[in-house]
Amino acid sequence: MRTNQVTSSDFGHDLRVSVHGGLTGIVLPQVDHPDAVRVADREITAWERRHGLPLGAVALLPVAESALGVRNLFDILSASERVRVAAFPGAAGGDLCASLGVTGTADGQELLYARSKVLLDARAAGVQVILDSVWVDLDDLAGLREDSVRSRRLGYTGRFAIHPRQLDILHAVFTATRGEIADARALLAAYHDARRNGHGAIRHHGRLVDAAMAETARRVLATADRSGDSGD
């Protein structure tokens, strides 16, 4: 569920009608400071107690939609253990573009720094699910695919969709292929064998493999597990 801003007089009403059994997460818009996340955390906790819900069950996705918010993003994402998802609000012509004063282009170069900073801050804060912005040109599916490939290469794990036509493309781009899953399994198996034999780095299919590459392979498999695609 997406609420009004934490500073809005409607925020308390939003929580009152939404924090019940079955709610898994809340999107907080227009977050510029970590205090907004802390306030939301306290108020959600109060409603969870009132309704006898498990404390911490409702996740938070705070969205920094201004230059100040992106500047403060690491602190925002670190402000509560409820924050389990991060997002880049880089829709062409959206709030962040307006805040930065940029003109959106197809290749998104004008937003590359902000897009990369969101990813870096999310990883540094320990957030593993990192979603890219919506693609607003509903008729440009080729552009969506191309931009989503760039997004995945940057490290994003998924993307918001605003139309059913976009779902097949996003699933295809952000889901590991059977070949990628098989390669990750083989790499980890070879790496673990080497570790058991006292080696910290190995040669695998002509490439040097060390702990960092093993971690990347683990991430591929973890993402596949979450999506229910084991590659079998």
State the CB neighbour count (10 A cutoff) for residue 87.
24
41 within a domain of the structure (yes/no): yes
pLDDT above 90: percentage of residues in the chain = 70
What is the rounded distance in angstroms from the CA atom of residue 182 to the CA atom of residue 171? Answer: 19
pTM of the model: 0.84
- Of 156, 174, 192, the domain-final residue: 174
64 within a domain of the structure (yes/no): yes
State whether 153 and 209 are in the same domain: no
What residue numbers bound the domain in which 31 lies? 11-174
pLDDT of residue 85: 97
State whether 60 and 138 are in the same domain: yes
5 within a domain of the structure (yes/no): no
State whether 127 and 40 are in the same domain: yes
- As beta bridge partners, residue 25 has 59
Confirm if 50 and 42 have CB atoms less than 8 A apart. no
pLDDT digits (tens, 9 = 90+) for 80-121: 999 999 999 999 889 999 999 998 787 889 999 999 999 999
60 within a domain of the structure (yes/no): yes
Output the domain CATH number for residue 38.
3.20.20.60
| Token duo for residue 57 | 């069950």
